[in-house]
Amino acid sequence: NHKTSINRILGIRNLVTTTYWDITAYQVETTYQVTNIYLL
């Protein structure tokens, strides 16, 4: 089914995007905390 494969690709892309932003947010938060530790 052509529509199913499109939905699957979009679903995978959404999953990758969500995971990417989760990792980025985590890294930013960690960097922020480390910076605060060094500044205090």
CA gap 17, 6 in Å, rounded = 16
Q: Which helix (H) or strand (E) holds 1?
A: none
CA gap 5, 8 in Å, rounded = 5
| 0.75 exceeded by pTM | no
Average pLDDT over residues 16-34: 94
How many domains are contained in the chain? Answer: 1
- Please, what is the average pLDDT of the chain? 91
Express as a percent the part of the chain with pLDDT over 90: 70
Range of the domain at 21: 1-40
Per DSSP, the three-state class of 40 is: coil
DSSP label at residue 4: H
